[in-house]
Structure 1
Amino acid sequence: MRKLIIGLVCLACLAVVVDFGAAAYSEYRVSRTLRVGADLTADPEVTIHGFPFLIQSLRSRYDVDIEARGNRQDIPGEVALEATLHGVRLPLSDLIDGNLHNVPVEEVEGRFRVEPTELGRLFNIPDLQLHSRPADKSDGTGGSGGSGMTTTGALVLTGTLPTTPGTQFGGKNVSVQADLLLEGDQVKIIATGLYHPTTATEIAQNTVVPEADRPAVLARFTRTIDTIELPFGVRPTKVSAQGGQIVVEGKGVNATIDLDRLQQP
């Protein structure tokens, strides 16, 4: 009896190892195919959820998360690309072979994140910070860099304006209020006015801008981003600011996608 129990335990351990190995290899194949097909600079992170993996493969149905970094023509540097796929219908043989064209998916959620470094490059303000006023946090946490979602019109942008000929505020730290909007396929960050400091530290750090110079200052903090399309061709439906990032999201249902085309090269 003892030998039988030990044998069953060993068999169960072997089955788990084989299952994890099959899942890891499938994730690797999808990752490599994505990198080549979408012209990415590094292998994306691919996670196939659910255990045991081989039981899922018998149903040919998977839930998959993808995280990658990619270049966009309208944003300097790289942005974070993410996709969550529910109900991916794909035979195991195609998954392993990398045959990832015309794959039915019950639901696809796509998003990209413009992080603080890329935002600074976009505005040509390297130390740009994006945060929200405590009263406008939808989750009530308040403060900058929180995990909650920022409501439209609640943004505060702070940064040191670059020194350019004919300007008086080069090298000065300025804070402005801004609206964050999604209009069609465009994300608009529109500076609407100066942000009035409320703490002694903010007052000491910020520059008082004369009324006559305010339009030029606000223009420096105003930008439009053409979203074009989200991962797998999803259309954008929502934009928010989270943890100092701009996040654009969209969702599609009952779609057919090419799993090697996270973004068009």
Structure 2
Amino acid sequence: MRFRRLLIGLLCLAGLAVLLDFGVAAYSEYRVSRLLRTGSDLSADPEITFHESIGHPFVIQAIDGAYGSVDVRARALRPDIPGQITVEANLRGVHLSMRNLIDGNVSRVPVDEVHAGLRIEPAELGRIFKIPGLQVFGPPADKSDGSGGSGGTGVTTTGAIILEGTVPVTPDADAATFPDPVADGGQKVTTKPVHVLADLRLEGNQVRVTATAIAGRDLQGDTATEIETPVIPEQDRAAVLARFTRTIDIKNMPFGITPTKVQAIGGQIVVEGTQRNATVDLDRLQP
């Protein structure tokens, strides 16, 4: 009987400890989320996750004022990018006392390592390029040589990317396949779906997307045979490549982290950067 009572008592204590740990974690996540929403003028509360580590429940981390890992994810508006983009960060080794968190004194928080990212999704990319329904595909082949995939300079993906979209072109023999011609400066045009090979490169705080060839006409080898693109009239090729070429300013990375990498993942353009021994402002996601 005594053993049973002892066991029940221990289970109750364990349950209370779990509830306390959950409650402190939930409050901390809510507090940081509200500070970030207000300070960064976000349209919704960002997602904040304080991770527990083995042998270090959250309440112990809170007492020590040292958190192993914190994830931040939010949707944010940018004046230079139409629509919303996703910003995210993983903070490792966050040094913040519970008192400062309660008081909102989070403007200078030491962090051992910050990994920040910015994701531009297809809808926003279509608005930037002014190509409705724009799709982005990863590199068709490994061209990693440290030169941007085409002999240039700068940090790039592991290869070129492929862009797909429908653009206006001059009518030709197969224009009947693509009806609804429109007037453009007195000249009738039609629209065609196009696949374009492009280089994706990070240069400083800018992402450069440079269209280099129209797949199915300019390419040779496997890539040309795998992609079916209608023949583009010779007079339209330069204009089509120009429509798929853009420079995107990457300003205000999460917590001011410098971008160091860009790649195409899941139809998105993803920019990332890492900084060690940083001091971040937890009530300002974007400076």
TM over 0.5: yes
Equivalence for 1:30: 32
1:179 is matched with 199
Partners of 1:152 and 1:180 within 8 A in 2: no
Task: Report the counterpart of residue 225 of structure 2 in structure 1.
Answer: 198
Q: Which amino acid in 2 is paired with 1:241? A: A
- Cα deviation for residue 101 of structure 1 reads 1.3
CA contact (8 A) 2:206 2:247 kept: yes
The one of 82, 85, 91 aligned to 1:85: 91
Deviation string, structure 1 residues 222-252 (Cα, Å, up to 9, x no partner) = 1101112310011111111111100011111
1:227 aligns with 2:247: no
Counterpart position of 1:253 = 276
Instruction: Check conservation: 1:153, 1:178, Cα contact below 8 A.
Output: no
Q: Structure 2 matches for 1:76-225, cutoff 5 A?
A: 76-136=82-142, 151-161=157-167, 165-166=184-185, 170-196=190-216, 197-199=224-226, 202-203=227-228, 206-225=229-248
Aligned equivalent of 1:68, options 47, 69, 74: 74
Query: Quick one: which amino acid aligns to residue 183 of structure 1?
Result: E
Letter of the structure 2 residue corresponding to residue 165 of structure 1: D
CA distance change for structure 1 residues 52 and 169 in 2, over 3 Å: closer, same or farther?
A: farther
Deviation, structure 1 residue 161: 1.4
| Mapped partners of 1:126, 1:235: distance in 2 | 30
Q: Sort the Cα spacing of 1:130 and 1:255 in 2 relative to 1 into closer, same or farther, 3 A.
A: same
Q: Distance in 2 between matches of 1:198 and 1:164?
A: 33
The CA RMSD measured in Å over matched residues stands at: 2.0
Aligned CA distance change for structure 1 residues 69 and 254 (closer, same or farther; 3 Å): same
Match of 1:161, SS state, is strand
Q: Note if contact 1:152-1:181 (Cα within 8 Å) is conserved in structure 2.
A: no
Describe the shift of the 1:153–1:133 C-alpha distance in structure 2 as closer, same or farther (beyond 3 A).
closer
How far apart in 2 are the matches of 1:107 and 1:16?
28
Between the two proteins, the alignment pairs up a number of residues equal to 249
> Residue in 2 aligned with 1:5?
7
* Deviates most, 213-222 or 47-56: 47-56
Counterpart-to-counterpart distance in 2, 1:130 and 1:214: 20
Alpha-carbon deviation of 1:132? Answer: 2.9
Distance 2:183 2:134 in 1: 17
Pick which of 178-187 and 151-160 moved more.
Answer: 151-160
CA deviations 1:165-203 (Å, max 9, x no partner) are: 24765421111100000111110000001012524xx53
Q: Distance in 1 between matches of 2:189 and 2:258?
A: 39
- Residue pair 1:85, 1:109 contacting (<8 A) in 2 also: yes
- Higher alpha-carbon Rg: 2
Q: 2:63 aligns with which of 55, 58, 78?
A: 58
Normalised TM-score (structure 1): 0.88
2:264 equivalent in structure 1:
241
> 5+ residue gaps in structure 2?
145-155, 169-181, 217-223
1:11/1:169 Cα in 2 relative to 1: closer, same or farther (>3 Å)?
farther
Instruction: Rate the CA distance shift 1:31–1:211 in 2: closer, same or farther, 3 A.
Output: same
Change (3 A) 1:133 1:88: closer
The alpha carbon displacement at 1:151 in A equals 3.5
The verdict on how the C-alpha distance between 1:48 and 1:172 changes in structure 2, with shifts beyond 3 A counting, is: same
Q: Give 1:211 shift.
A: 2.3
Residue identity (%): 59
Q: Are 1:152 and 1:179, in contact at CA under 8 Å, matched by a contact in 2?
A: no
